[in-house]
Structure 1
Amino acid sequence: MRTIAEINDKIHQHTVVAWTVEELKTKVNEIGVSKAFQQVDVICTGTFEPMESSGAVINLGHTDPPIKIRQCWLDGIPAYAGFGAVDLYLGATAMAEGETNVEKGGGHVIEDLIAGKSVHLKAIGQKTDCYPRASFENTITKDTINQFYLFNPRNLYQNFIVGVNGGDRELFTYLGSLQPRLGNAVYSNPGAISPLMNDPDLQLIGIGSKVLLGGGIGYVAWEGTQHFPLQKRLPNRTPIGPAATISLIGDAKQMNPRWVRGCYFHNYGASLMLGVGVPLPVLREEVIRFCAVQDSEIVAPVIDFSIPRRVRPTFGLVTYEQLKSGRIKIEGKLVRVAPLASIYLSRQIAEELKDLIMNGQFTLTEPVAPIPQERSFVPQDQRNSPLTLE
C-alpha cells in the first residue's frame, strides 16, 4: 500500500516514477503486474475528444454606471446572463443567431479568449435603481475580465457508442456525418488509454481530484450529468456502453489553446475539443491490474442512428482493437471506421502530464468524497400529459 502523501513527497524530491498508461501496459507484458507495481508511482492517462457539455463562467466586472445584464453576446454568440449582474455562462454548443457565422459557436469563443484574442461584447441590461445602464458594448480579453474558468457539467465519458446509419440518407449527428446503408462508422472514445477505462470503479478519481484540464490545473467538481455507473460491465469491470461521467472545473486563464479548440459538426452544430490528463496514483497492486487492460478487452455498442428514437437498435458489440483496425464487420459487410478522439493528442497530453509530475510541477490531491456508484439513468418521458408528435 502507498499513500498520496508519500507519492507527493517523491514528486517534491524528484524521485517519483511516472509512466503513461501505454508505457504501463507494455511494462506489464514484459515484467508482470507485481514488478510493475514495485517500480511505478503514478500512471498518466489522457484524452483529446469532443466534450460538448462544457462551458465557461465569466465575470466581466462592473461598468460605470452599472448594468444588470439580461442578454449578452460574445462575438455574436449568446451567453446566458441569468446569474448576477455581470456573470455569464458561455456554453460550448451555443450558436450565433441567424445565418451569419453558422459554423462558429461558444467553443470557438472560449478558444479565442484562452489564446489571448479580443472578443466583442454586446450586452442589454434591465434598468433598475441600482443598475441604471440599459446597454453596453466593449472589446474584452482574458486579461480585462475578472474570472474566466471552465465549468463543464459532463466530461470524460467512461466508454461511449459507435454510430452507424442503416437508412437511405446521410445523417448529420454529434458523431459527425454517418453515410447511408452502413457506409461508415464513427466512435469517440480513445479506448484503453481513456482515463476512466483505467479506473473502472472510480476508486482513485473522486471529488477534488486534480487533473490537467486544457493544459492548466483543474479539479473534479462533481459527478457528471448522465452519470450512469450501473451500466452493464465485463468481468474486467469495464462498461459495455456509456457509463460514468465527471464534472470538471479549472482556471481558463491558465489554459493552452492547443488543448481547448472550438469545432463544428456539419449540419449538427458547434462543440469543443478538449484535452484532459488524469493521473492515477498507484496505491495498491490492483491499480496495475486495472490499468493493464487492452483494447482487445473492452467493447462498445454499434448503434443505428437511422431509427429516430431514444433507444436505438444495436448491431452488437465490437472491441476497440477492431475499431482501431479501421474496419469492422456488420452483418457480413466490412465497414470503414474513424475516431473522433485524437489518439495522437491523447497520448501527447498524457506525456505532458507525466513530464509535469516528473519535474515536480504537478502534485496529486486526495479526493474529499467519492463519485457515487449507484446512480441510475432516468429518461424524460411524458407524464400526465397528452402525447404529441412533431
Structure 2
Amino acid sequence: MRTIAEINEKILQKKAVVWTADELKSKVQEISVTQAAKQVDVICTGTFEPMESSGALINLGHTDPPIKIRQCWLDGIPAYAGFGAVDIYLGASAMGDYNSLPETTIESENRQLERGGGHIIQDLIAGKTIQLRAIGQMTDCYPRASFETIITKDSINQFYLFNPRNLYQNFIVGVNGGEKPLYTYLGLLYPRLLNAVYSNPGAISPLFNDPDLQIIGIGTRIFLGGGIGYIAWEGTQHFPLQKRLPNRTPIGPAATLALIGDAKQMNATWVRGCYFKNYGASLMLGVGVPIPVLNEEVIRHCSVQDEEIVAPVVDFSIPRRVRPTFGLVTYAQLKSGKITIEGKSVRTAPLASISFSRQVAVELKQWIEAGEFTLTEAVASVPMERTFVPQDRWGSPLMME
C-alpha cells in the first residue's frame, strides 16, 4: 500500500495521518482492518518502564597535563574506564561504596546508597553539576596521576546513551509463594501470594505491535528519553524463539533491542534514576517506536488487545534460574488489579507507568504530525533465530577437569 518514502513525503508536508496504538486499537473496534489501513500512515507505540541494562558513554576531554583514566567516580558512583584515556561508561545500575571514598569527594546529601548511575544520568541530562574524581595510569604520554573537577553535560564532549538491553517484548509476573518478603528487580514481593508485579505496559508496548519485527529493524529511528534515538542492534538476552500464541505474540520474555541516542538532546522527564529497595539502582526510560503502515498486516498486528497477550506468573521464592510458574495470565487481567492464583485473589501492580507510556506515544505522534520526525528504513533486520544460552557452570567440561 505504501512505502516509507511516501509516508515521509506526507510527514514533511504535514499531511500524514498518525494514530497512537491506543487510538488504533479503539478504532478497529468500529471500523475494519482494511478501512483503518487506508486511513492511517503511522502508528505510535510507547513505554515508560525500568530498563537497568542501560548506560551512558561519556568523553570527558583531555586535561593538561593529560591523564589516562583507569578508575573514575561521578558523585561517588563508579564508571568503567577501560577504554581510551578519557572515555568512560556509566551503567544505570552502578552503585557506589561510599565508605571507601574520602570524605571530601561526596556531598553529604549524596551519601545514600539509594543513588546510582541512573540518577547521575538523569542529573546530567537535567543540566545539574556532577563531581568527577579520576585516578590515572601514569605513562610517558599521560603523566597525570589524578584529577578532580565538576562537570555538566555542556562541559563534556560526547554524552550518549548506549543501552545493551531495552524494550523487552514481554516479561514475567513476579509473585512470592514463600513465607518471607523478597526484594527483587520487580520490587517488593510480599509472602504467601499477597501481591503480583508486572513490568510491561501491555498492548501499547512497541514490540507487541510488531511481534516478528518485520517493520522495526536496525537503524529504525525512535523516541528515546525525550530525544531522537536509533535501534543499534539486537539486545542482550534477545530470545525471539520464545513460544508464541497464534497472533505471534510471545508467552514470556522474548525479543530485546539495543538502543542509542544523544543524551544531550534528551529530557529528564523521560530519563529517571530509580532505586529498588535491597536490590539496587535502575533507570526509568521512555521509549516510543513509530510503526509505518505499509500494508494491512501491520494493522492486524497493531490491533492486538490486552485480552490477547499473556505473561507467565513466576514464583520468586524458589531461588533457581528456572522457577516454577502458576500459569499464564492476560494483560487485561493484570490491568484489572487482580488475578486468581490457585483459587486465591491476588492484587496486581505495574512497574511501568501506563500513563507515561501513553504520553510517550502521544508526544511522538505530535512530533510526526508537526513534520519534525521522519521515519527511517531499517538497514538490516533484527535476527529472529537466536537461542538463549544459560551459564550452568557446574556442568561444564572445564569445571569437571
Alignment of 1:1-390 (within 5 A): 1-98=1-98, 100-382=111-393, 383-386=396-399
What secondary structure is seen at the aligned counterpart in 2 of 1:199?
A: coil
Cα distance in structure 2, aligned partners of 1:332 and 1:29: 33
Cα distance in structure 2, aligned partners of 1:334 and 1:283: 43
Cα distance in structure 1, aligned partners of 2:261 and 2:98: 32
1:255-275: CA deviation from partner (whole Å, max 9, x where unpaired): 000000000000000000000
What secondary structure is seen at the aligned counterpart in 2 of 1:56?
A: strand
Residue ranges of structure 1 left out of the alignment (5+ in a row): none
Deviates more, 1:297-306 or 1:92-101: 92-101
TM-score normalised by the chain length of structure 1: 0.98
Task: Report the alpha carbon displacement of residue 101 of structure 1 after superposing the two structures with TM.
Answer: 1.6
Query: What's the Cα RMSD here?
Result: 0.7
Cα distance in structure 2, aligned partners of 1:97 and 1:248: 29
Task: Report the alpha carbon displacement of residue 381 of structure 1 after superposing the two structures with TM.
Answer: 1.4
What secondary structure is seen at the aligned counterpart in 1 of 2:352?
A: coil
Task: Report the alpha carbon displacement of residue 98 of structure 1 after superposing the two structures with TM.
Answer: 3.7
Cα distance in structure 2, aligned partners of 1:184 and 1:74: 36
Task: Report the alpha carbon displacement of residue 34 of structure 1 after superposing the two structures with TM.
Answer: 0.5
Aligned residues with identical type, % of pairs: 78
1:120-172: CA deviation from partner (whole Å, max 9, x where unpaired): 00000000000000000000000000000000000000010000000010000
Q: Detail structure 1 runs of 4+ shifted over 4 Å in the superposition.
A: none
Contact persistence 2:76–2:98 (CA under 8 A): no
Task: Report the alpha carbon displacement of residue 386 of structure 1 after superposing the two structures with TM.
Answer: 4.4
1:26-45: CA deviation from partner (whole Å, max 9, x where unpaired): 11111110000000000000
What secondary structure is seen at the aligned counterpart in 2 of 1:72?
A: strand
What secondary structure is seen at the aligned counterpart in 2 of 1:364?
A: coil
Task: Report the alpha carbon displacement of residue 384 of structure 1 after superposing the two structures with TM.
Answer: 2.4
What secondary structure is seen at the aligned counterpart in 1 of 2:397?
A: coil
1:285-322: CA deviation from partner (whole Å, max 9, x where unpaired): 00000000000000000000000000000000000000
The amino acid that maps onto 1:58 is: I
The amino acid that maps onto 1:32 is: S
The amino acid that maps onto 1:384 is: P
The amino acid that maps onto 1:306 is: S
Cα distance in structure 2, aligned partners of 1:354 and 1:360: 10
What secondary structure is seen at the aligned counterpart in 2 of 1:218?
A: strand
Cα distance in structure 1, aligned partners of 2:218 and 2:224: 15
